[in-house]
Amino acid sequence: MASTKKLFKALTRRGPHRVLRGDLAFAGLPGVVYTPESGMNLPGIAFGHDWLASGQRYNGTLEHLASWGIVAAAPDTETSLAPSVLNLAFDLGTTLDIIAGVRLGPGKISVHPTKLGVAGHGFGGSAAVFTAAGMPGRLKAVAALFPTVSRPGAVEPAAALQTPGLILADPGDPMSLRSNAVELARAWKPATLRAVNKVTAGGLVEGRRLARVLKMPGEDKGTQKIVRALLTGYLLHELTGDKTYREFSDREAILPKTEVMDPFSDDPVDLENKVVAMLKP
């Protein structure tokens, strides 16, 4: 069996499948869907975008997942300055219903209703938690990638989740005022919290966006490469049961570029220091 390091390296590159791109609007929901060229009973996920982004800003990540055999779709809703986390969560659930309920592509692609998951970045990470809480027993995996706080907060629904989860945090700012990664991990018992080295929490978003004007982090290719590999390996194991990738969802495993964080360890950053860090230019 290939080592985890070799598997990680392979997962940073495109997978073996040719990829098709489609439009969720055919089913009445703005958004995009990427699929392998063919395949029946495939795994599928819905992906939630960060604040001031959209599903279109994750095309490379969605395409990457599809190249590894995972149908990946993202709604283009709640893109305003004041989005609703509950509305985005509902739309993520609708997205899953769409991809699992219809034949995709030229009729040679289908998603199995028991191989579903949800993932999200930043604001979309919290929305993904709400989606999972609203679909008890239907999802096999949830991934919150550098999740951020929302109103209402996602910690309470996270406490009720029995679904396995992966939470990624930026080690440079895991306890910032915007991040709720640690708080989610404390409440969400089946979840694993991993700090990812040499990344920028906002770097997963592709292309230019309004957030650049607000001096927020922009696109970072290194972050995208690392996160795509970790997410793909995790989903391949949780959604398909492929034991080749079991260490990507094992909280005891040592994965490249990451380390497991204990959410209950003493917090070395007090509230005052967090505020000061947020106010620095």
- Contact between 197 and 174 (Cβ < 8 Å): no
Q: Give 166's strand partners.
A: 143, 192
Angle of helix 221-240 relative to helix 59-67, nearest 10 degrees, comes to 40
Tens-binned pLDDT, residue by residue, of the chain (281 aa): 469 999 999 999 999 999 999 999 989 999 999 999 999 999 999 999 999 899 999 999 999 999 999 999 999 999 999 999 999 999 999 999 999 998 887 778 999 999 999 999 999 999 999 999 999 999 999 999 999 999 999 999 999 999 999 999 997 764 466 899 999 999 999 999 999 998 989 999 998 554 455 555 678 999 999 999 999 999 999 999 999 999 999 999 999 999 999 999 865 444 444 443 444 43
Show the tokens assigned to 252: 């005891």
Specify the CATH superfamily of domain 4-263+270-279: Alpha/Beta hydrolase fold, catalytic domain (3.40.50.1820)
pLDDT per residue as tens digits for the range 25-46 = 989 999 999 999 999 999 999 9
If one counts every other C-beta atom within 10 angstroms of the C-beta of residue 1, the result is 7
Which is it for the CA torsion 186, 162, 102, 224, positive or negative? Answer: positive
Q: How far is CA 105 from CA 96, 110, 196, in A?
A: 16, 9, 35
Can you read off the two tokens belonging to residue 54? 């959209």
CB 143 within 8 A of CB 165: yes
As a whole number of angstroms, the distance between CA 130 and CA 126 comes to 7
- For the chain, the helix, strand and coil percentages under 3-state DSSP, each to the nearest 5: 40, 20, 40
pLDDT at 214: 54
What pLDDT shows up at residue 106?
A: 76
